[in-house]
Amino acid sequence: MKIGVLSVQGAVSEHVEMTDGALRDLGRSGSAVVVRRVDQIEGIDSLIIPGGESTTISRLIDRQGLRDSIIKRGQEGMPIMGTCAGCVLMARAGDDDVERTDTKLLSLMDMKVVRNAFGGQRESFEAELDTVLFEEPFHGVFIRAPAMTEVWEDCAALARLDEHVVMAGQADFLAVAFHPELSGDSRIHRYFLDL
Ligand code: GLN
């Protein structure tokens, strides 16, 4: 199994390490590879879009000519996980900030995101999250995190914090508003690999 980590900007190496660790934990062969070209997107079995800055990542996706192949492979059923800025890009709809910055979303998941949903005092924080996926809470690291204000159709809320949805799933897509690669807990990566 070859898991691509999109490497145009943002927290790439942490995802590579966490994914390799999750493969080991599951006793599965395979590895995480960094991808930044179309031919590399064609050769992977699943893709992680990391955190960073969604406007920048979106522009670099276009500059590298990756948008069509990411969307096409996603529509063909390739599992994709977007975390933080990557979570923003998975959405079909965004807030005024997404519009204002002309951040082009991949529109793969039926959900609306707000950027920097926890702004101000709570720009960065950590929280224990109850999720639909696991019995034990997941320790979420939030860094200028987005959140989903609406999910519809086949998109399901998997974790909430306050009034926000902070993790959502739709078919083989996963959107995570926090940074699962930074908590030293590979359960979300293992869940993704199982998809
Ligand atoms: N606030 C950033 C954005 O909207 C995301 C921050 C992050 O990925 N840690 O793109």
Nearest C-alpha neighbor of 174 from the set 166, 162, 182: 166
Nearest C-alpha neighbor of 179 from the set 30, 13, 55: 13
Distance CA 176, CA 166 (A): 6
Residue 77, domain extent: 2-194
Q: What's this model's pTM, rounded to 2 decimal places?
A: 0.97
pLDDT > 90: what percent of the chain?
96
Within 6 A (CB) of ligand 1 lie: 51-54, 84-85, 88, 115-116, 143-144, 146
pLDDT tens readout for residues 18-41: 999 999 999 999 999 999 999 999
pLDDT tens readout for residues 116-164: 999 876 789 999 999 999 999 999 999 999 999 999 999 999 999 999 9
pLDDT > 70: what percent of the chain?
99
CATH number at residue 53: 3.40.50.880
The Cα-based distances of 180 to 64, 81, 155 in angstroms read 26, 11, 20
Quote the pLDDT of residue 121: 67
Q: Which residues pair with 59 in a beta bridge?
A: none
Whether 179 is catalytic is: yes
Q: Which of 84, 87, 155, 189 is catalytic?
A: 84
Distance CA 28, CA 195 (A): 13
> Cβ of 47: how many Cβ atoms within 10 Å?
20
Number of separate domains in the chain? 1
Whether 84 is catalytic is: yes
